[in-house]
C-alpha cells in the first residue's frame, strides 16, 4: 500500500471509529436558520470527531483537485479556487460526500474585482483607490466586486491588504492603501463593509485583512524578510488599520510572511492571540498565508519539522492552514499533536467554532451552490463605476505652464508611445489578462476621446523583454522591428522609430512605469515576489523619454505602476507628469478624459514618492529629528525632500483655504470641532481633498512631525466656496507612552490644514488640558 493511501485509510477509520453512524446525526439545530449562529455552531461542533474538526482547519487547492478526488477524502474546511461557477459547484459537491456535509468555504484573491477570472469588472487596485481619498467610492467598488465574486460561487476574498508601506522597493505596495495609518484605517473599514455587509447572507463575501503585520516595513523592502520594528511603531502606525477592520467586523485575517523582531507572525502568540484576538476583540479566524505555517520549518527555521511548525502556529492562535496537497501535511500531524496533549483540544474547538461561525454567517448551510445563470458581471452599471473610480485615482504630479489639458487647437497631431501605451498593465496586480474588448488601453482611450486630432502610435516594446536577451540585443534594425511584435524590449529601433514619429507630431504622450499583470509572472517589474532594489524606471525607459524630449516637442509622461517610481531627470525635465497608478479596465479612457480636459484630475498621493532609493524609508510622518536634519552637506533639509510628498496632486483649477474656526483649549475627553472654507478660485469645476495634519509639540516619547487626522473630498464649481467641518476626538491625539499604554498627553498641538503634507494653507495651535 502506498504511504499516502495508507494514511487516508487511517484517517478514514479514525473518523468513523470515533463517531456515531450517519443516522444519529442531529441536524435539527444546526440546520435551523431561525436559531442564533452560536447555537448552531455548538450543535454541530459537539457532533464532530477530532479528525473532522481538524479537517475544518485545513484548506486544499484547485490545483490538487484531481489528486483529491482520486484519494476520495473530502473532510476539509476550505478551498483556494478561482473558478467559474460550474467548476466551483463540482468542487462544492464533494462536501456532500462527507459525513456531516459541512459546506466548503471557497476563497480566492479578488482584490479589485475578480481579476483572475475572465470578463469581470476590474476596478483600480488598492493603492489607486487610496489615491481617490474617497470613502464612498471604496465601499461602492467593494460592494460591486462582492456581487461578482459571490455570483461566481466564491465566498471569500483574501483582501483587503492593509499593510502600511515604509519601503517603496516592496513589490506589493500596490496591494495596499499606502503609507498612512488613518487613510488606510478609513478605507479598510469601507472595503470590509462593501464586501461583507448585505442583508442577504448569500450575497456576502468574507474579507481577509492581510498581512498581519509589518510586511511593508520588511528589511530592504523584500517580501518575506524580517521586520525589525518596535512595539511602539507597530501599535502607532501598523496595527491601527487592522483594529479598524476588526471594528468593521472583518471575518478573517491573514498573517504576514515575515517575522517581527525574530518571531514569525504565524507563530506569534503575542500578536495573534494576546493583541489581536484578546485586546482588539477579533472574533473571526486566521487563515495562514501560502504555506506560512509550514514555512516555520522551511523558511524561518524556527521549527525542526512539520509537526513542530504546526504546534507553534496553532498554539499561537492560527485557525486555518493554507494549504495541503493531502492529509499528511496538516490533518495527520495536528491530530497526533492533540492526541499527545501538545495542542489542547480547547484550541482546536476555538478554531473550529470561528470557522463554522463564518460559514453560517455566509448562509452556506442553506445553499452551498451557485446558479450559473445568475452569475452576472461586468454590467453597464458596474463598468461605469470602474470608470468613475479610475477618473478619481489619477494624480497629476506636474504641469508646467499648464501644458495640460492638451490644447487641441495647438496640438493637432499627437504621438502616443512608451511600453505601457497599448497593453493591459493598467489592470494592475491580481489581474490576469482580460478580453481586449473589456480593456481601454491608453492608446485606445486617447483614440476614443481625442476630439478631432490625429493620433500616431509607435510601439516601444516591453518594459521587460519576453524573449532572450541575446536576441533582443541584436543591432539589426529589421530584426529589432520584427522582435517588437514578438515581445521584445525597448530597443534602438523602437527608440529611433518613436523619435522619427515625434518629429512629425506636435506633442508626445509617453506611457512608462511598471508591469504587474499576475498571469505574466516572470515579466513583472513589481508585485508579489517582484521587489526591486531600485525605484527608478526599469530597463531603457528613461533613455526613451530622454530621446523624445530631445526632439523639442512637449512631452507628457504617464506613469502606470503599483508603487512609487521616480527618476530625477524625468521629474526635472519633463513638463507634465501624470501618475495613473493601476486604474483598472477603463484606465486609458479616464486618462484620456483628463488629458483632454473633459475631467479635472483630483487624485492625491497616498504614499510619498522619494527622489531616490537611498532616502527610503521616506514616509511623511518621520520623527522631527529626521525631518529637521535630513541628508545633505551642510545640513540642508531640502536634500531630504521627496520627489512628491504625501497628499500631492494638482488640479486644473485652483483652491483657496480660509476662515479656520477652531477653539484653542480642549479637555482630554472632548471632541475637537473645527471648520474652514475652501473656494474654487479657478474657472472649472474641481474636486478638492483637504487634509488635516496634527503635530504634538512636546511628548514623553518621540512622536512624528505630523500625522493625518482627517480628510474629506468636496466638489466645487468654479467660484464656489464651501465650509468644511471636521471633528477629531481628543482621544485620537494619543501616543503609546513609556509604559506602552495609549494615552493623550495634555499640552500644545498644531493643527495644519492643506492640500498636501508640503502645502499647508491654514494652521493653528490648540491646547489639551
Q: How far is the CB of 420 from ligand BGC (least distance, A)?
A: 24
Rounded distance, CA 128 to CA 387, Å? 12
Cell reading at 528: 508579489
Site residues for ligand BGC, 94-113, by CB under 6 A, read 109
Other beta carbons within 10 angstroms of residue 317's beta carbon come to 26
Q: How far is the CB of 230 from ligand BGC (least distance, A)?
A: 24
Please say which residue, 130 or 512, places its beta carbon nearer to ligand BGC. 130
Whether omega before 495 lies within 30 degrees of 0, making that bond cis, reads: no
Name the β-bridge partners of 156: 107, 206
Binding mask 476-515 for ligand BGC (x = CB under 6 A): ----------------------------------------
Q: How far is the CB of 268 from ligand BGC (least distance, A)?
A: 17
Rounded distance, CA 725 to CA 660, Å? 10
The H or E element that residue 336 is part of is helix 331-339
Q: Select the residue interacting with ligand BGC from 289, 319, 531, 696 (CB under 6 A).
A: 289
Q: How many residues does the chain have?
A: 769
Buried/exposed 483-508: b ≥16 CB within 10 Å, e otherwise:
bbeeebbbbebbbebbbebbeebbbb
Please say which residue, 287 or 694, places its beta carbon nearer to ligand BGC. 287
Contacts made by residues 266-270, CB under 8 angstroms, sequence distance 24+:
266/292, 266/293, 266/295, 266/296, 266/312, 266/313, 266/316, 266/318, 267/296, 267/300, 267/302, 267/303, 267/312, 267/313, 267/316, 268/316, 269/315, 269/316, 269/317
The H or E element that residue 445 is part of is helix 442-449
Q: How far is the CB of 287 from ligand BGC (least distance, A)?
A: 9
Binding mask 68-97 for ligand BGC (x = CB under 6 A): ------------------------------
**580 near 558, Cβ under 8 Å?**
yes
Please say which residue, 259 or 289, places its beta carbon nearer to ligand BGC. 289
The residue sitting closest to ligand BGC, measured at its beta carbon, is 158
Rounded distance, CA 330 to CA 98, Å? 18
HSE of 260, CA atoms in CB hemisphere, 13 A: 26
Rounded distance, CA 270 to CA 264, Å? 11
**766 near 663, Cβ under 8 Å?**
yes
* Binding status of residue 290 toward ligand BGC by CB under 6 A: yes
Instruction: Of 143, 153, 88, 144, give the one whose Cα is nearest residue 121.
Output: 144
Question: CA-CA distances (angstroms) from residue 79 to 108, 164, 528, 539?
Answer: 8, 28, 21, 39
Buried/exposed 289-307: b ≥16 CB within 10 Å, e otherwise:
bebbbbbbbeebebbeebb
Please say which residue, 513 or 527, places its beta carbon nearer to ligand BGC. 527
Rounded distance, CA 91 to CA 755, Å? 51
Rounded distance, CA 201 to CA 43, Å? 20
Buried/exposed 350-369: b ≥16 CB within 10 Å, e otherwise:
ebbbbbbbbbbbbbbbeebe
Cell reading at 479: 530584426
Name the β-bridge partners of 105: 78
* Binding status of residue 299 toward ligand BGC by CB under 6 A: no
Please say which residue, 292 or 579, places its beta carbon nearer to ligand BGC. 292
Please say which residue, 528 or 710, places its beta carbon nearer to ligand BGC. 528
Site residues for ligand BGC, 314-343, by CB under 6 A, read none
Helix, coil or strand: residue 103: coil
Burial of residue 455 (CB within 10 Å: 0-12, 13-18, 19+) is middle
Q: How far is the CB of 516 from ligand BGC (least distance, A)?
A: 14
Rounded distance, CA 226 to CA 263, Å? 9
Please say which residue, 292 or 392, places its beta carbon nearer to ligand BGC. 292
Q: Which residues are catalytic?
A: 289
* Binding status of residue 619 toward ligand BGC by CB under 6 A: no
Please say which residue, 562 or 734, places its beta carbon nearer to ligand BGC. 562
User: Angle at CA 144, nearest 5°, toward 142 and 145?
Assistant: 65
Rounded distance, CA 419 to CA 460, Å? 5
Residues touching ligand BGC: how many (CB under 6 A)? Answer: 6
**18 near 49, Cβ under 8 Å?**
yes
Please say which residue, 289 or 710, places its beta carbon nearer to ligand BGC. 289
Q: How far is the CB of 224 from ligand BGC (least distance, A)?
A: 9
Q: How far is the CB of 332 from ligand BGC (least distance, A)?
A: 23
Q: How far is the CB of 528 from ligand BGC (least distance, A)?
A: 6
Rounded distance, CA 166 to CA 326, Å? 38
For CA atoms 690, 246, 113, 536, give the dihedral sign: positive
Helix, coil or strand: residue 508: strand
Binding mask 691-710 for ligand BGC (x = CB under 6 A): --------------------
Binding mask 351-380 for ligand BGC (x = CB under 6 A): ------------------------------
* Binding status of residue 524 toward ligand BGC by CB under 6 A: no
Q: How far is the CB of 125 from ligand BGC (least distance, A)?
A: 13
Q: How far is the CB of 247 from ligand BGC (least distance, A)?
A: 22
Site residues for ligand BGC, 525-554, by CB under 6 A, read 528
Other beta carbons within 10 angstroms of residue 279's beta carbon come to 12
* Binding status of residue 210 toward ligand BGC by CB under 6 A: yes
Please say which residue, 16 or 432, places its beta carbon nearer to ligand BGC. 432
* Binding status of residue 242 toward ligand BGC by CB under 6 A: no
Cell reading at 453: 486630432
* Binding status of residue 158 toward ligand BGC by CB under 6 A: yes
Cell reading at 519: 498571469
| Pairing outcome for strands 507-513 and 413-417 | parallel
Residues near ligand BGC, by CB under 6 A: 109, 158, 210, 289-290, 528
Amino acid at each position: 500500500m502506498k504511504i499516502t493511501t495508507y494514511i487516508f485509510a487511517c484517517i478514514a477509520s479514525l473518523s468513523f471509529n470515533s463517531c456515531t453512524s450517519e443516522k444519529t446525526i442531529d441536524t435539527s439545530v444546526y440546520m435551523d436558520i431561525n436559531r442564533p449562529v452560536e447555537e448552531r455552531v455548538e450543535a454541530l461542533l459537539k457532533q464532530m470527531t477530532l479528525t473532522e474538526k481538524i479537517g475544518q482547519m485545513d484548506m486544499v487547492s484547485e490545483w490538487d483537485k484531481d489528486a483529491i478526488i482520486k484519494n476520495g477524502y473530502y473532510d476539509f474546511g476550505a478551498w483556494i479556487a478561482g473558478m467559474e461557477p460550474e467548476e466551483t459547484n463540482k468542487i462544492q459537491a464533494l462536501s456532500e460526500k462527507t459525513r456531516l456535509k459541512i459546506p466548503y468555504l471557497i476563497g480566492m484573491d479578488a482584490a479589485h474585482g475578480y481579476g483572475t477570472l475572465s470578463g469581470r469588472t476590474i476596478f483600480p487596485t488598492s493603492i489607486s483607490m487610496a489615491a481617490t481619498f474617497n470613502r464612498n467610492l471604496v465601499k461602492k467598488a467593494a460592494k460591486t466586486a462582492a456581487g461578482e465574486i459571490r455570483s461566481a460561487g466564491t465566498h471569500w476574498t483574501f483582501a483587503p491588504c492593509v499593510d502600511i508601506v515604509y519601503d517603496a522597493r516592496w513589490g506589493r505596495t500596490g496591494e495596499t492603501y499606502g503609507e498612512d495609518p488613518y487613510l488606510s484605517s478609513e478605507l479598510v473599514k469601507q472595503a470590509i463593509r462593501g464586501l461583507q455587509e448585505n442583508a442577504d447572507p448569500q450575497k456576502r463575501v468574507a474579507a481577509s485583512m492581510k498581512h498581519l503585520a509589518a510586511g511593508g516595513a520588511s528589511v530592504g523592502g523584500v517580501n518575506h524578510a524580517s521586520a525589525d520594528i518596535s512595539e511602539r511603531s507597530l501599535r502607532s502606525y501598523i496595527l491601527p488599520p487592522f483594529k479598524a477592520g476588526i471594528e468593521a467586523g472583518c471575518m478573517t485575517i491573514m498573517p504576514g510572511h515575515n517575522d517581527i523582531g525574530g518571531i514569525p507572525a504565524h507563530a506569534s502568540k503575542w500578536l495573534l492571540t494576546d493583541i489581536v484576538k484578546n485586546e482588539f476583540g477579533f472574533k473571526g479566524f486566521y487563515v495562514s498565508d501560502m504555506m506560512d505555517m509550514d514555512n516555520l520549518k522551511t523558511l524561518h527555521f524556527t521549527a525542526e519539522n512539520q509537526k513542530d511548525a504546526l504546534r507553534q502556529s496553532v498554539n499561537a492562535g492560527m485557525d486555518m492552514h493554507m494549504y495541503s496537497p493531502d492529509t499528511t501535511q496538516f490533518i495527520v500531524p495536528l491530530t497526533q499533536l492533540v492526541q499527545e496533549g501538545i495542542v489542547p483540544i480547547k484550541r482546536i474547538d476555538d478554531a473550529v467554532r470561528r470557522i463554522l461561525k463564518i460559514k453560517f454567517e455566509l448562509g452556506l448551510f442553506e445553499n452551498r451552490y451557485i446558479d450559473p445563470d445568475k452569475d452576472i458581471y461586468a454590467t453597464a452599471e458596474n463598468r461605469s463605476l470602474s470608470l468613475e473610480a479610475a477618473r478619481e485615482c489619477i494624480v497629476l504630479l506636474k504641469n508646467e505652464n499648464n501644458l495640460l489639458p492638451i490644447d487641441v487647437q495647438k496640438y493637432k497631431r499627437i504621438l502616443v508611445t512608451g511600453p505601457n501605451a497599448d497593453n493591459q498593465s493598467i489592470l494592475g496586480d491580481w489581474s490576469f489578462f482580460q478580453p481586449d474588448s473589456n480593456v481601454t488601453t491608453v492608446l485606445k482611450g486617447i483614440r476614443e476621446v481625442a476630439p478631432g486630432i490625429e493620433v500616431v502610435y509607435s510601439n516601444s516594446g516591453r518594459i521587460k523583454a519576453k524573449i532572450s536577451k541575446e536576441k533582443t540585443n541584436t543591432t539589426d534594425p529589421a530584426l529589432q522591428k520584427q522582435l517588437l511584435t514578438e515581445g521584445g524590449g525597448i530597443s534602438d529601433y523602437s527608440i529611433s522609430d518613436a523619435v522619427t514619429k515625434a518629429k512629425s507630431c506636435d506633442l508626445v504622450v509617453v506611457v512608462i512605469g511598471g508591469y504587474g499583470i499576475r498571469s505574466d509572472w516572470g515579466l513583472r517589474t513589481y508585485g508579489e515576489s517582484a521587489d526591486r532594489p531600485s525605484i527608478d524606471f526599469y530597463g531603457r525607459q528613461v533613455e526613451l523619454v530622454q530621446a523624445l524630449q530631445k526632439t523639442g516637442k512637449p512631452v507628457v509622461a504617464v506613469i502606470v505602476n503599483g508603487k512609487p517610481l521616480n527618476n530625477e531627470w524625468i521629474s526635472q525635465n519633463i513638463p507634465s507628469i501624470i501618475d495613473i497608478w493601476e486604474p483598472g479596465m477603463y484606465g486609458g479612457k479616464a486618462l484620456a478624459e483628463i488629458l483632454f480636459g473633459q475631467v479635472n484630475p483630483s487624485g492625491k498621493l497616498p504614499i510619498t514618492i522619494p527622489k531616490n532609493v537611498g532616502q527610503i524609508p521616506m514616509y511623511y510622518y518621520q520623527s522631527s529629528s529626521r525631518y529637521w536634519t535630513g541628508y545633505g552637506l551642510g545640513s540642508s533639509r531640502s536634500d531630504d525632500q521627496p520627489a512628491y510628498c504625501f497628499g500631492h496632486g494638482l488640479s486644473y483649477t485652483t483652491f483657496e483655504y480660509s476662515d479656520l474656526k477652531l477653539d484653542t483649549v480642549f479637555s482630554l475627553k472632548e471632541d475637537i470641532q473645527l471648520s474652514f472654507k475652501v473656494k474654487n478660485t479657478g474657472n472649472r469645476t474641481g474636486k478638492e481633498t483637504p487634509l488635516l495634519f496634527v503635530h504634538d509639540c512636546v511628548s514623553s516619547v518621540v512622536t512624528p512631525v505630523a500625522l493625518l487626522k482627517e480628510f474629506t473630498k468636496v466638489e466645487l464649481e468654479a467660484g464656489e466656496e464651501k465650509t468644511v467641518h471636521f471633528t477629531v476626538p481628543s482621544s485620537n491625539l494619543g501616543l503609546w507612552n513609556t509604559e506602552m499604554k495609549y494615552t493623550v498627553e495634555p499640552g500644545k498641538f498644531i493643527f495644519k490644514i492643506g492640500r498636501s503634507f508640503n502645502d499647508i494653507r491654514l494652521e493653528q495651535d490648540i491646547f489639551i488640558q
